[in-house]
Structure 1
Amino acid sequence: MSPANIAPAHLAESRVSFRSAGFAALVMFAALALLPLLAAVTGDAFLLVVAMRVMIFAIAALSLDLILGYGALVSFGHAAYIGIGAYAVAILNAYGVNDLLVQSAVAVVVAGLFALVTGAIGLRTRGVYFIMITLAFGQMVYFLTISLSAFGGDDGYTLPARSTVLGHAVLADNRTMFYVVLAVLVATFLLARTLIASRFGRVLRGTRDSAVRMQAIGFSPFPYQLTAYVIAGALAALAGVLLANQVEFVSPAYMSWQRSGELIVMVVLGGMGTLAGPIAGAAVFILLEEWLAAFSHHWKLGFGLILLLTVLASKDGVGGLVKRLFGGSRHG
């Protein structure tokens, strides 16, 4: 028996939802692609800075949704992979390796190996124990970076310049950097969409709904969950590489448990178990942060109230509202 035979009606519903989610994402990508033109017309260069931040955290939120929304794995250490990506840029830069492609490859490999080891241990636990063990591993990396005095320790490390691409300093231009980040976001979305629509994704969703039932029909959840965990960590590391280049600074704060909590909020706010949702959730989170912070240093109180109202209004978050607007359902 294969996962395709478990619930045909449910899968048919998911295909419709995939199409609606894809259309919603296409609308968001088109709107993002037009932002440099809007920034040029208005003369507001800060618009690109905020938009790049939104897209970078959208990549991280998408990676988390692979294991949280589709695998029911609540990781409170996911920000560690952002930090691994960021520090890969800083450390390689200090040793004269400035190429973005090399830095990205190293970040993905290191993050993937870390996820493989920690995931193999953590996935042998369940529920709150999994949450706590991911938190513990994340804090281990956090305190490791604090101990790196050569890279500023707790104060962080300023990069001398953005990375080069094949020897050319193309990322020095904010508009070029913007489109590079957008391209990575689109590629991440397409990869996640392909994975979730595949046999692998159907088994992963099956383990989310009932691991015991999947075992009963011959599918062991562990290798599928571990693979998803490694992929999610590698994608989050790419977000870290881009974040380091965007702000030209790395800090242990990138991988704190608070940052992991913010990523979970982005996914929940946008809608767990969706693909367009984490992008919308990251956008809402970052924009609300910018807007509310202008009024008070205690902006998180106001944000908490907005998050509460959003959850009460729609259990699927912003992504659920968007998908209902385009005629979809939850599982996209």
Structure 2
Amino acid sequence: MSIIRPRAIVVATLACALALLPIYSELSGNTFILTFFTRVLIYAIAAVSLNLLMGYGGMMSFGHAAYLGIGGYAIGVLAYEGVHSGPLQWLIAAVVSALFALVIGALSLRTRGVYFIMITLAFAQMAYYIASGMDRYGGDDGLTIYRRSGFEPILDLSNRTQFYYLCLGLLVASIYLVFRVVNSHFGLVVQGARSNEGRMQAIGFPTYRYQLVCFAIAGTICGIAGALLANNTEFVSPGIMYWTRSGELMVMVILGGIGSLFGPLIGAVALLLLEEILSQITEHWQIILGPMLVIIVLFARGGIDGLLRGRAE
């Protein structure tokens, strides 16, 4: 007789809750919960892309939020210039994010350890200061987006429910894409390079190229998340790509379970829910959240996903 594992129950429950959330919001008249979880889904997509690098590739990128900003600014700048076609906006957001990821990867992958982390951080900060200096597009004050990406008549992104399901669908697609990638020949080489890059090179695999493509895939997914975020907030600013935002994405991945398929989703839901609940209790909510995160990291080495699997050490 098979035993239903706690992790499977939690993932299934979470999936059903997310799928039925708009119905609850409509029946209860609670529009905030739909807006809040739309934001959760968007950050979960970004966390999934970072997990591909960190969890499966062993590449500790500390500048991942740069792709959020690039995707967001692609939407904002094009909308400001009168280009409202959704397919065109999103294509440009994905392509520019991928190209930026290739540049970052091409340089950072030639280093190791703390140097790798610092180069990814430096590129993200460079993107932050470039955005801050674009006076035509708001500079430090950011850029208001007066019209969302146009996908009519297929989709109306101004409709909260349609936009929510678009985010949910793209989250499912990103998780599935990562699943297919990491279980492919390509993904096995990337994971092998994480464990022992020298050995993978010795048996004939050009690990640099594999890791560079992995960088581009992760950057593209995160760029799409940035496009979603810009449409959701109808605003984009340099703060979206500041190093603290990259840190938040890393916390989501580690909290949920680094190197696990659903860990980033669980981590995004847990972190953003904790922030929202604690901020309603006290203005000093970070003092409570910090120790809670430390306890989880200390007693659940595999994050919440690891704890549910019974792997806590």
Contact 1:204/1:221, CA 8 A, preserved across alignment: yes
Does structure 1 residue 261 correspond to structure 2 residue 247? yes
Taking the TM superposition and a 5 Å limit, the aligned residue runs for 1:91-102 are 91-102=77-88
Alignment partner of 1:321 is 2:307: yes
Question: Could you tell me which residue of structure 1 aligns to residue 204 of structure 2?
Answer: 218
Per the alignment, residue 25 of structure 2 pairs with: 39
**Residues 34, 311 of structure 1: CA spacing in aligned structure 2 closer, same or farther, 3 A cutoff?**
same
Distance between the aligned counterparts of 1:284 and 1:316, measured in 2? 15
Comparing 161-170 with 315-324, greater Cα deviation is found at 161-170
- Map 1:41-190 onto structure 2 (within 5 A): 41-166=27-152, 170-190=156-176
Amino acid at match of 2:57: G
CA contact (8 A) 1:84 1:240 kept: yes
Q: Aligned equivalents of 1:103 and 1:200: distance in 2?
A: 29
Deviation at 1:41, TM superposition (A): 2.3
The question of 1:283 aligning with 2:269 is answered yes
Sequence identity, in percent?
A: 47
Deviation at 1:321, TM superposition (A): 2.5
Separation in structure 2 between the aligned mates of residue 166 and residue 64 of structure 1, nearest angstrom: 31
Unpaired runs of at least 5, structure 2? none
Aligned-pair distance for 1:214?
1.3
Q: Which moved more, 1:313-322 or 1:109-118?
A: 313-322
**CA spacing shift, 1:23–1:72, aligned 2, 3 Å:** farther
Structure 1: where are the runs of 5+ without partners? Answer: 1-18
Q: CA deviation at 1:279?
A: 0.5
Q: Is the 8 A contact 1:21 1:275 kept in 2?
A: no
Deviations 1:266-325 (Å, cap 9, x if unpaired)?
00001111110000001111111111111233322211111111112210011213344x
Q: Is the Cα–Cα contact under 8 Å of residues 74 and 130 in structure 1 kept in the other structure?
A: yes
CA contact (8 A) 1:156 1:251 kept: yes
Structure 2 distance, partners of 1:107, 1:28, is: 29
- Give the corresponding residue for 1:293: 279
Map 1:22-33 onto structure 2 (within 5 A).
25=11, 27-33=13-19
Q: Is the alpha carbon distance of 1:310 and 1:205 closer, same or farther for their aligned partners in structure 2, counting shifts above 3 Å?
A: same
Alpha-carbon distance in structure 2 between the residues aligned to 1:26 and 1:151 = 43
The answer to whether the 8 Å contact 2:68/2:240 transfers is yes
Summarize the Cα distance change of 1:271–1:49 in structure 2 as closer, same or farther, 3 Å threshold: same
The amino acid across from 1:297 in the alignment is E
Q: Which residue of 1 aligns with 2:290?
A: 304
CA deviations 1:161-217 (Å, max 9, x no partner) are 222104677111101110011111111111111001111111111111111221222
CA distance in 2: counterparts of 1:71 and 1:81, whole angstroms: 18
Displacement of 1:147 in angstroms is: 0.5
1:43: how far off? Answer: 1.6
Provide Cα deviations, 1:212-242, integer angstroms capped at 9, x if missing partner: 2212222222111111111101100000000
Judge conservation of contact 2:64–2:124 (CA < 8 Å) in 1. Answer: yes
Listed one character per residue, the Cα deviations across residues 85-110 of structure 1 (whole Å, up to 9, x for unaligned) are: 00000011012111222111101100
TM-score by length of 2: 0.94
CA contact (8 A) 1:292 1:299 kept: yes
Match of 2:219 in 1: 233
Contact 1:24 1:276 in 2 (8 A): no
Secondary structure of 2:216's partner? helix
Q: Contact 1:29–1:186 at 8 Å: present in 2 too? A: no
Contact kept, 8 Å, 2:155 with 2:162, in 1: the verdict is: no
Alpha-carbon distance in structure 2 between the residues aligned to 1:175 and 1:228: 32
Partner of residue 179, structure 2: 193
RMSD: 1.9
